[in-house]
Structure 1
């Protein structure tokens, strides 16, 4: 009885202690998130973790591919990935350091450049890889223009919609010129044909219109058009049609059309909770094609288990939270729209990749941002994170702290200038004064007869006709 009474006394105390510790942790976390540069530091942390995880997994996944296909060593693919990461790191710094008004001013030029390179890739200048003419290849270096076009559409589309925000309630101003330009991009990408690029480009367009406040019925029409385009691309080539058929009938032809999807799910299952260990996964030994690129999430589950997959999901969930936090805490409408659109793009691309690896979506060939092996995707994604970090430094509290207290530790390390405060656009003066309503001037001054009568009240000579 004594022992039972002691346990009854100790358990509530332990519960109170645990609750107190959780409360203290919650208070400390809330205080840290309330700091002026919390969003900027979170962007840096997520970016560094995703980049490091991507390099480690590409190194583990590409050893067998390098040995079998490259023939020049075990680390050929990894060395290329490391080179792309170095180039992307420079662009990340440029995106952090370049003033956002300059980026906004250059967005129309970037959009024009994107259209030009999409046209050029359809000419003999472009290289045909895996049945699609969507690459420029110069020696060992390859470049995919659709990645640049997605960023250009996000920056330029936000600029146009913000300039016309006072008249966006009219369909003519809401859709023109953003929708025609986007449809031109869709047409050029579908001519390649590139299903994954078309889907992610559509995500950027929908995000722009959503954050611009477009009516819901417009998204229904866009969804119907998007489904028609995806269906057209899916049946346009045999291997895409095989992917759709294998998704609709996952239990048929397990050694043929469904082989890749089945092997991805087996790799996830073999990893268990803790995984086989880094570098010990069996799926990369020619059991799972494109494991270092499209299906790297399956290798993460194979080698790092459910914990590794949970880490990836948590990092992209953090990208979503931080990106929307940056969008809501800014007062510049262009920064708000750009931060929200870029965030939706990154998170949606990761969700599509993870979705088809686990069998929830058909295979589309979309890479996992910053983790999959891929040159243009990695470089452009690192630039996107740099722009997000720049947007975080333009939060009003961050601007005040940086201008009053100095650039801070990371600002000194990266040589980042203090951002300028937000200046609302000046109201345009009319080109010529508005003509007054007809008769307003006479009502203000009165008729000549009324003016004469008013003046005659104080002047008797005028009352007598002006004669003495």
Structure 2
């Protein structure tokens, strides 16, 4: 009979070490790609792209520090933080929706998603992703086998997820609202909820999303572009077409770091929204393969 290995406090498994290495590699790769794509971006005579890259570096450092801090905490303590974190998130999500808070949450590109608290400018919906997962995990742990019941198990999840996603949807931000529902549903599913409940709720969610897409012109245009990416007659189609041109121009090995042409006015937000196209152009098929492989490894390890 062999004894089980003893794991000392603070000892990291090889999966954890590899996950940390993959995360760090993706961060460095992303910042380097952003730097190459943003080097020529100017706004009002200043290099706006480089400011964006600088913020990404600061964000990576702060995020890494918070990651190390959180990893040293007993995860059972998150149960105590679940409700306070959720309530703070809901309060922050309300700020962009109030008419007298425009100085704190101005409209940007037709939406009020950002909140300026002086020292930090951020989207409350980003915090909502963490708050929803922590709260759902806490409630699932507390409910136990009751998650298989609709009224006492599933209904509380629906109420909270509906409230948070509605506040995000009103900003408007359909993609993050949908993601919030998916995150909460994933926690509920792994907790043992009935498949029938998911089929019913999933059908209702699909109808709601379809309604939101149908009634908003730019969302409908994006859906049509997604279904027919070869149509370059619309603005959204033109952007997709230019991103595909970037991929095609890169070939196998790419045009070289910082040597891409699509960022010269052809591709909007080449250093952020369309960064993957920039990677395909400057780093080629090999660069794209490495990024996809690393993200796949990240998902498998996580």
TM interval, shorter chain, is 0.7 to 0.9
Between the aligned partners of 1:169 and 1:264, the Cα distance in structure 2 is 45
1:122-173 C-alpha deviation (Å, 9 max, x unpaired)? 1242221111111113579531000101111101101111111132232222
Which residue, out of 92, 95, 101, partners 1:117? 92
1:33-88 C-alpha deviation (Å, 9 max, x unpaired)? xx9621221121111101111110111122222x2x25323622222222222222
Shift of 1:277: 1.2
Extract unaligned runs of 5+ from structure 2.
1-10
Residue 38 of structure 1: aligned partner: 14
Which residue, out of 54, 79, 91, partners 2:30? 54
Which residue, out of 60, 67, 74, partners 1:92? 67
Structure 1 residues 151 and 36: CA distance shift in structure 2, 3 A: closer
Between the aligned partners of 1:254 and 1:274, the Cα distance in structure 2 is 30
Which residue, out of 69, 79, 91, partners 1:104? 79
Using the size of structure 2 for normalisation, the TM-score is 0.88
Whether the aligned pair in 1 keeps the contact of 2:95 and 2:115 (CA below 8 Å) is no
Residue 187 of structure 1: aligned partner: 166
Say which structure, 1 or 2, has more relative contact order (CA 8 Å, 6+ apart): 1
Shift of 1:121: 2.0
Whether the aligned pair in 2 keeps the contact of 1:115 and 1:185 (CA below 8 Å) is yes
Residue 159 of structure 1: aligned partner: 138
Q: How many corresponding residue pairs?
A: 287
Query: Mapping of 1:66-81 within 5 angstroms?
Result: 67=42, 69=43, 71-73=45-47, 75-81=50-56
Whether the aligned pair in 1 keeps the contact of 2:253 and 2:283 (CA below 8 Å) is yes
Q: Does 1:216 align with 2:195?
A: yes
Whether the aligned pair in 2 keeps the contact of 1:57 and 1:300 (CA below 8 Å) is yes
Q: Does 1:292 align with 2:267?
A: no
Between the aligned partners of 2:145 and 2:197, the Cα distance in structure 1 is 19
Query: Mapping of 1:392-431 within 5 angstroms?
Result: none
Q: Residue 304 of structure 1 aligns to a residue in which SS?
A: helix
Between the aligned partners of 1:141 and 1:284, the Cα distance in structure 2 is 29
Residue 132 of structure 1: aligned partner: 111
Q: Does 1:271 align with 2:211?
A: no
Q: Residue 134 of structure 1 aligns to a residue in which SS?
A: coil
Residue 321 of structure 1: aligned partner: 300
Q: Does 1:205 align with 2:184?
A: yes
1:204-248 C-alpha deviation (Å, 9 max, x unpaired)? 022112101222222222222222232233244432232123334
Shift of 1:202: 2.0
Q: Residue 267 of structure 2 aligns to a residue in which SS?
A: coil
Between the aligned partners of 2:145 and 2:264, the Cα distance in structure 1 is 58
Residue 63 of structure 1: aligned partner: 39
Q: Residue 126 of structure 2 aligns to a residue in which SS?
A: helix
1:151-208 C-alpha deviation (Å, 9 max, x unpaired)? 1110110111111113223222221322100000111111111022112112202211
Between the aligned partners of 2:234 and 2:148, the Cα distance in structure 1 is 54
Between the aligned partners of 1:82 and 1:282, the Cα distance in structure 2 is 25
Extract unaligned runs of 5+ from structure 1.
1-34, 324-468
Whether the aligned pair in 2 keeps the contact of 1:122 and 1:134 (CA below 8 Å) is no
Residue 6 of structure 2: aligned partner: none
Residue 148 of structure 1: aligned partner: 127
Using the size of structure 1 for normalisation, the TM-score is 0.58
